[in-house]
Amino acid sequence: MEKIVVSGQQKLSGEVAISGAKNAVLPIIVATLLTEDQCTLYDVPHLADVQTISEVLQSLGAGVNYHGHTMVIDGAGVSQTEAPYEYVQKMRASVLIMGPLLARFGKVNLSMPGGCAIGTRPIDLHLKGLELLGATIHIDEDGVHAESDGRLKGNDIFLRVPSVGATENLMMAASLAEGCTRIENAAEEPEIVDLANMLNAMGADIRGAGTSMIRINGVPRLHGAAHTIIPDRIEAGSYLLAGAITKSRIKVTNCIAEHLRPVLDKIIESGAEVIVNEEAMTVEVIGGEHILPVDIKTMPYPGFPTDMQSQFMAYMCMAEGASHFTETIFENRFMHVDELRKMGANIQIDGKNAFVNGVPSLYGADVKATDLRAGAALLIAALAAQGETTIGQLHHLDRGYEDLIGKFRQLGAKIQRVEM
């Protein structure tokens, strides 16, 4: 079993390049199923999730050629409409194949998707939306089965919550539907905009992405396109917090600061300095002498992202005072708390609320990554802790952070991956 070993209390310095966004690249790879033509994607990060979704496409008949950070996908050979169970169980994003396959082939079969255990995350919004587009849905012990009689039909869809995955799935399905589809209360995340830009490059007619109302005028066919994936705002935020908690000065490059605005505002509120150069696409953090407590409430974009909650909580463990976290997106996203307590953190949980009383120091311990972002939180805490911290269950971190060890070593961290 592999683990990460971190020797804490090392000053960081220098700069680190941010990779393409995990939460953008997965739906964009899936979107290539909408055409039989060749698509080329740039800045594709080397992640376990990218490998898994590539294998899903290959199992459906697509050709996938991945060299460096460029991926070429050829959809001409796609003929299967059922994703193998072993892939779907690995990753929740597999549910996104439903919209494209249903739109292109009129049917799809899908096992119930897996992924991080951070709540129930039902797919009912996906299914109800596809039904409104004309699909017939049947669920049994084998999974979800969907069919359509001819082309999907455009319709008005209201999402009771602004689900990112449902918005993406329905945007892709509606791109080839007959007529106009309007998605109300749509998710507004930058990754939604990136997917819409890819679809429009393929010949779709999508307007309003990035707002709560997205309008899609269906077209008969989509063609191949080339697209560059946006930078990963969650990766950027994680490195900036690593700099802040170690009271260091580091710079992240290939970063769109506007996508990180709520996180940057909270970092500034905590007493650190943030320097943004939008033209150069860089953000620099200078850790403050004192870490001030801040309160966090996760919200859909443009609010504070749930994917940064655990990392910021690790940061607040060493604040001079009490912080209050409210998690409104997922009901089971405090699993990292028990692990942080092993390092000396003082955290109490009450339902959706976490109360963090800062301590003068954290201490090295043997901990495990309970999910992707929890793993990042533990690593951030370990960098500031006294002594040595060992982090297990690395498959979670491998899903979302490219070259994690190499990038932190580049910043001066004493970190290694070992067999134990």
Binding residues: 22-23, 92, 121-125, 307, 329
Q: How open is the CA angle 409-413-415, to the nearest 5 degrees?
A: 75
Give the residue ranges of the annotated binding site for phosphoenolpyruvate.
22-23
**What is the Cα–Cα distance from 362 to 365, expressed in whole angstroms?**
9
Locate the DSSP E strands across 300-387: 322-326, 346-350, 353-357, 366-368
Chain center to CA of 180 = 29
**What is the Cα–Cα distance from 284 to 121, expressed in whole angstroms?**
35
CA-derived radius of gyration, the chain: 21
369 and 396 in contact (C-beta within 8 Å)?
yes
In sequence order, which ranges of 61-163 are alpha helices (DSSP H)?
85-88, 98-105, 124-132
Give the residue ranges of the annotated binding site for UDP-N-acetyl-alpha-D-glucosamine.
92, 121-125, 307, 329
Within 10 Å of residue 57's Cβ, how many Cβ atoms?
A: 23
> In 3D, which of 278, 226, 224, 228 has the Cα closest to residue 255?
278
Active site residue 116: yes
Beta carbons within 8 Å of 274's beta carbon, 6+ residues apart: 240, 264, 267, 268, 283, 284, 285, 286
Residue 324 burial by CB count (10 A; 0-12/13-18/19+): exposed, middle or buried?
Answer: middle
The tokens describing 108, both together, are 């799809």
> In 3D, which of 410, 15, 8, 69 has the Cα closest to residue 236?
15
Q: Which residue has tokens 């698509």?
A: 39
The catalytic residue among 116, 180, 255, 317 is 116
Beta carbons within 8 Å of 406's beta carbon, 6+ residues apart: none
Q: Which residues are the active-site residues?
A: 116
